[in-house]
Structure 1
Amino acid sequence: MAYGTKTANRVKRIEGQLRGVLRMMEEEKNCKDVITQLSAVRSAVDRTIGVIVSENLLDCVTTAEGDAEKMNTAIQDAMDLVVKSR
């Protein structure tokens, strides 16, 4: 599966957020502020997982060429990925 630049940019933003959290910890910022930023990172990761799974699902269903069994398998695999990410 090819990952687009939008998806890569999402991951780069998450990376930047994590660096920011480390910096906050090094500067001994308030616990509440650190947790708020970590929650934002978690949310960004969850959204990115959703984007990747949905793009993969769309690709799998498109290549299933009307084969109901292949489509059902693709949908089940996508749902398994979402559940596993929780």
Structure 2
Amino acid sequence: MKPRIHPASRPVVFRDRAADVAFLTRSTADSTRTIEWEDGTSYPLIDVEISSASHPFHTGNSRVLDTAGRVERFERRYGRAATVRP
């Protein structure tokens, strides 16, 4: 590896907001927010929307999406599209 071209890797806490789980790992990502970890040390904190703790593939839970009524709700909100005649 070439020296001084790679970003610095440091311990970072990633917090999954959906599952309310936190992971301490190494990353090059940086954040201005910090959190005190179980060992008493303060680490940068990065919130993520989904991780292996909340992803349906890893948990085995599937989410049911409400697909019925989406078109009708769109048409109520924005009106029916005009048909284009050639």
Q: Structure 1-normalised TM-score?
A: 0.22
Structure with the higher fraction of residues in helix conformation: 1
Which structure has greater strand proportion?
2
Q: Answer with 1 or 2: which has the greater Rg.
A: 2
TM-score (norm 2): 0.22
